[in-house]
Amino acid sequence: MDEDGRVRVVLDACVLVPPVLREVLLGVAAQGLFQPLWSDRLLEEWARAAMKAGPEAALAARTEAARLQAAFPASRIPPAPHIEARLHLPDPNDLHVLAIAIAGSADTILTFNARDFPRHTLAEEGLGRADPDGFLWLLWSHHPQQVAAAVTEVHRRAEAIAGAPRSIKALLKKVQLPRFAKALASDMNAAAEGQPR
pLDDT digits (tens, 9 = 90+) for 63-78: 888 888 899 999 999 9
Q: Which of 87, 109, 131 is the last residue of a domain?
A: 131
pLDDT of residue 99: 97
Quick one: DSSP state of residue 56? H
Same domain, 145 and 64: no
pTM over the 0.85 mark: yes
Cβ atoms within 10 Å of 49's Cβ, excluding its own: 16
Most confident by average pLDDT, 31-40, 47-56, 66-75: 31-40
Same domain, 19 and 44: yes
What residue numbers bound the domain in which 95 lies? Answer: 7-131
Same domain, 72 and 95: yes
Cα within 13 Å of Cα(52), Cβ side: 6
Report the domain count for the chain. 2
Cα within 13 Å of Cα(126), Cβ side: 10
Quick one: DSSP state of residue 106? -
Same domain, 107 and 175: no
Same domain, 53 and 96: yes
pLDDT of residue 5: 74
Q: Among residues of the chain, what percentage have pLDDT more than 70?
A: 93
Q: Does the pLDDT at position 180 exceed 90?
A: yes
Same domain, 79 and 171: no
pLDDT of residue 46: 85
Question: Is 1 part of any domain?
Answer: no
**Residue 103 is part of a domain; what is its CATH number?**
3.40.50.1010
Q: Which of 99, 131, 163 is the last residue of a domain?
A: 131
Same domain, 186 and 157: yes
